[in-house]
C-alpha cells in the first residue's frame, strides 16, 4: 500500500522513475535525527533528506532522497485530528516527498500555501489507491 501510494505521488509529480527510501521509525529515533541534523530538540513527524541538492546532486538524478516518518507521532497526530493513523501517515508521506522536490513551508507564507495546496491535490488524487 505504501509503495503504491508513493509511486502514484511520484507519477503525479511527473517523476515516475524517481527513487526514494521511506524509513518508518519511533519517536526516540526521529528525535535523535532531528537533533543531529537540524539541531532541534524533541520528536517530529517527518524529516526529508533530499539527494538532489548540493555538490553531487547530478550523480544519480533519479535518486530523490529519504523520507523518515515517526509512526508514534503520526498515530498521535491522527488521534488529535480525528483521522485514521493511515490517513495521517499518507499526509506525512506526501509532505516528505514534496520536500524532496524542493517545496518548503518554512521560508515564506506564500511557499507554505503552495505546499499545502499541492499536498491537498495529491491527497485527493491518491485517496482511492
User: What's residue 98's pLDDT?
Assistant: 97
The whole-chain average pLDDT of the chain stands at: 93
Residue 58 has pLDDT above 90, yes or no: no
Q: How far is CA 125 from CA 53, 56, 84, in A?
A: 27, 33, 18
Planar angle of CA 79, 82, 87, nearest 5 degrees:
80
DSSP, res 101: T
Query: What are the grid coordinates assigned to 119, written together?
Result: 499536498
Which segment of 29-43, 49-63, 98-112 scores lowest on mean pLDDT? Answer: 49-63
Q: Where are the domains of the chain?
A: 2-126
* pLDDT-above-90 percentage for the chain: 83
Q: How far is CA 24 from CA 5, 70, 118, in A?
A: 15, 6, 23
User: What's residue 18's pLDDT?
Assistant: 95
Instruction: Mention the CATH class of domain 2-126.
Output: alpha beta
Query: What are the grid coordinates assigned to 8, written together?
Result: 502514484
Which segment of 25-34, 53-62, 92-101 scores lowest on mean pLDDT? Answer: 53-62
Strands 63-70 and 46-50 come out as antiparallel
pLDDT digits (tens, 9 = 90+) for 74-85: 999 999 999 999
pLDDT digits (tens, 9 = 90+) for 23-50: 999 999 999 999 999 999 999 999 999 9
- By three-state DSSP, how is residue 21 classified? strand
Residue 93 has pLDDT above 90, yes or no: yes
Confidence bin at 96 (pLDDT 50/70/90): very high
User: What's residue 108's pLDDT?
Assistant: 87
Model pTM score: 0.93
Query: What are the grid coordinates assigned to 99, written together?
Result: 520536500
Amino acid at each position: 500500500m505504501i509503495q503504491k501510494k508513493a509511486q502514484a505521488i511520484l507519477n503525479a509529480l511527473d517523476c515516475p522513475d524517481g527513487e526514494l527510501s521511506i524509513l518508518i521509525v519511533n519517536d526516540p529515533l526521529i528525535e535523535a535525527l532531528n537533533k543531529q541534523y537540524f539541531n532541534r530538540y524533541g520528536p517530529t513527524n517527518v524529516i526529508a533528506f533530499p539527494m538532489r541538492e548540493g555538490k553531487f546532486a547530478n550523480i544519480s538524478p533519479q535518486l530523490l532522497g529519504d523520507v523518515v516518518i515517526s509512526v508514534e507521532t503520526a498515530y498521535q497526530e491522527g488521534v488529535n485530528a480525528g483521522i485514521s493513523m493511515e490517513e495521517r501517515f499518507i499526509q506525512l508521506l506526501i509532505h516528505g516527498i514534496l520536500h524532496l522536490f524542493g517545496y518548503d513551508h518554512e521560508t515564506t507564507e506564500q511557499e507554505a500555501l503552495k505546499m499545502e495546496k499541492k499536498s491537498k491535490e495529491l491527497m485527493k488524487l491518491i485517496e482511492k489507491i
